[in-house]
Amino acid sequence: MTATTAPSTVSRAEYCVVACAEAWRGDGEVLASPMGTVPSIAARLARLTFAPDLLLTDGEALLTGDVPAVGARSAVTEGWLPYRRHLTMVMGGRRHVMMGASQIDRFGNQNISCVGDWRRPTRQLLGVRGAPVNTLNNPVSYWIPRHSPRVFVERVDMICGVGYDSAAAAGPSATRFHELRRVVSDLGVFDFATPDHAMRVVSLHPGVTPDELHEATGFPLQVPLATPRTRTPSPHELHLIRAVVDPSGLREREVRTR
Amino acid sequence: MSGKVMTPDAIVGRLESGMTLGIGGWGSRRKPMALVRALLRSDVTDLTVVAYGGPDVGLLAAAGRIRRLVTAFVTLDSIPLEPHFRAARERGAFELVELDEAMFMQGLTAGAQRLPFLPIRAGLGSDVLRVNPSLRTVTSPYADGEELVAVPALRMDAALVHLNRADALGNGQYLGPDPYFDDLFCEAADTAYMTCERIVDTAELTRDAAPQTLLVSRHAVTGVAETPRGAHFTSCVPDYGRDEAFQKEYATAARTPGTWGDFSARFLSGTGEEDYHLAVEAWHKEQR
């Protein structure tokens, strides 16, 4: 654990924004598809800084030529992406989506459909939506605004987004374009770059202790001694987050103080 | 040639219990709600509903009209979870065929093209295959030899869609940013019924709009009805956006049988579409 302490003026939500933005670094000319407020701020931040070639939508059917603040209307349209073309684009792979997860396990299987027995769930959620097609066709990351043992579970109740073990079991057509990039939560950043593709800790956000992470995670997750802290947003990034992309502070509503 | 112009109730008169019904739109967007409300006034039940689900599914589920649902999600968009769908699932009210969004699109496309199935990568490794044990895979006959999911065609007895404009012949036009899959729904169904905000002369359709806004062609349409605000409370841009305040009222009322009973009595117990809009208008006045 490094001893670096963050400037106290940077909020946890702002660390999360930068950690999510980093997911799209180096992606080039692909569609960044953020689900949720912090990922939406993050994708805009990435495009305004280190990933200028990213494509963004207005959340509906248009590709935006400008980068409006979250919730604001775009003034420039550079493309048309209705659902039928969006789904085709997914299958073409030129997209990196950051989805949410009601449950996620150590191999990255994700559930947004229902909790309990699928035949008669205790809690019906959204349905599988596009999680199966996303995970088999284009890079996928996840954003979890509140890291808890109810979300980070030993086994998900319904596999919507396909994890590494499930893809491997399903064979070469499933693994061919399968790639889970990173998981960002309000506690840290995680990936699957281990020999068996089990989740590992990439960084903890400043102020988060290993004990706090263990208590909030429903499966064993080692925190190596050398685990770094999530990087601090630069003054320029902070300016963009606060004054340009999210001037009304929506990020602070999605990431609650723990 | 105005033989296709019908009323919503006459359209529902053509539907029968036990049918497979496709419903166009997406989530809480451009749903043929006037037809859904007409369905609620009828005794048509025991339906298989095929839809990218929104409050259409919610209302039909709450009224116990669905025997089987084929969908990838049911949502109100600005309110992520559809309360009636949720309650119906949690009490095991109907059979569910849960497909991925792109699998659903392939199924519609196969239905429109009279193919038995279309292949897709999606579904492999996911529990969509576990909860749909009848789904099969197919092996590519080419050198790659890939094993893919064979999505069976989605064919329907009738499709219901709502467009911005149409002519009396059944040519339908969307003026918003997204066509959704309304053309495919019509083409994958044995009969298709289209409501619209306004029926206009054919020449007027492209007077101020590009020809590619003509989404649904008359060869695929059985009947057409003019239902102004017929997608309410879902969105029908550019004619109107989603009625968020009323949708919130709907979702809140759906939480308990008591409040839902009050909501139904007030908004859904009239004898026609006009009663519904008068009740909604009165409700909006109260909110001011």
Q: Is the pLDDT of residue B87 over 60?
A: yes
ipTM: 0.96
pLDDT at B3: 79
A1 vs A245, more confident: A245
On whether any CB of chain B is under 8 Å from the CB of A194, the answer is no
Contacts of B245 (CB under 8 A, 6+ apart): B284, B287
* Closest alpha carbon to A166 in B197, B266, B124, B188: B124
For A90-142, how does the pLDDT look when each residue is reduced to its tens digit (9 = 90+)? 999 999 999 999 999 999 999 999 999 999 999 999 999 999 999 999 999 99
Residue whose C-alpha is closest to residue A41's, from A60, A61, A24, A63? A24
**In chain B, whose CA is at the least distance from the CA of A90?**
B102
* pLDDT tier, A258 (very low <50, low <70, confident <90, very high otherwise): confident
- CA nearest to B147 within chain A: A173
Residue A91 contacts B, CB cutoff 8 Å: yes
d(CA A107, CA A89): 25
The pLDDT > 70 percentage for chain B reads 99
How far apart (Å, rounded) are the C-alpha atoms in residues A160 and A44? 27
What are the residues whose beta carbons fall under 8 Å from the beta carbon of A85, sequence distance 6 or more?
A: none
A4 confidence band (pLDDT: 50, 70, 90)? very low
Q: What is the pLDDT of residue A3?
A: 43
What integer pLDDT is reported at residue A1 of this predicted model?
A: 42
Domain extents in chain A: 12-246
| pLDDT tens digits, B15-34 | 999 999 999 999 999 999 99
Distance of CA A160 to the CA centre of its chain: 15
A144 with A20: CB under 8 angstroms? no
Bridge partners, residue A110, by sequence: A104, A161
Number of other residues whose CB lies within 10 A of the CB of residue A170:
20
Determine contact: A43 vs chain B, CB below 8 A.
no
| DSSP H or E segment with residue A155 | none
CB contact under 8 A, B121 and A166: no
What are B174's two structure tokens?
């969307």
DSSP 8-class letter at A79 = E
CB count, 10 Å around CB of B155? Answer: 17
- Name the pLDDT band for A2 (thresholds 50, 70, 90): very low
Q: Do A91 and B121 touch (CB under 8 A)?
A: yes
Residues in chain B within 8 Å Cβ distance of A91: 102, 120-122
Copy the structure tokens of residue A186: 């309000």
What's the pLDDT score for residue A256?
85
Question: Whole-structure pTM over 0.95, yes or no?
Answer: yes
Task: Please give, rounded to a whole number of angstroms, the shortest distance from the CA of A101 to a CA of chain B.
Answer: 13
Please give the C-alpha separations between residue A226 and each of A15, A56, B193, in angstroms, as whole numbers. Answer: 19, 36, 64
Instruction: Kindly state the helix (H) or strand (E) to which residue B226 belongs, with its residue range.
Output: strand B223-226
Q: What is the pLDDT of residues B150-167, one digit of tens each?
A: 999 999 999 999 999 999
With beta carbons less than 8 A apart as the criterion, state whether B158 and B125 touch.
Answer: no
- Minimal CA separation from B154 to chain A, in Å: 16
Q: B8-99+154-247 in CATH: which number?
A: 3.40.1080.10
Q: What token pair was written down for B212? A: 């590619």
At A232 the three-state DSSP class reads: coil
Rounded distance between C-alpha atoms, residue B74 and residue B56, angstroms: 9
Per-residue confidence (pLDDT) for residue B218, from 0 to 100:
98
Show the beta-strand stretches assigned E in A108-159: 110-111, 114-115, 123-124, 140-144
B7: enclosing H helix or E strand: none
Predicted confidence band of residue B2 (pLDDT cuts 50, 70, 90)? low
pLDDT at B248 over 60: yes
Q: Which residue among A123, A129, A136 sits closest to B125, beta carbon to beta carbon?
A: A136
H or E segment and range at residue A191: strand A188-191
Tally of CB atoms within 10 A around A127: 28
- Name chain A contacts of B180, Cβ cutoff 8 Å: 82-83
End-to-end Cα spacing for chain B: 45
Superfamily of domain A12-246: Glutaconate Coenzyme A-transferase (3.40.1080.10)
For chain A, the farthest-separated pair of C-alpha atoms sits apart, in whole angstroms, at 51
Give pLDDT, residue A53.
98
Tokens 């506690």 sit on residue: A187
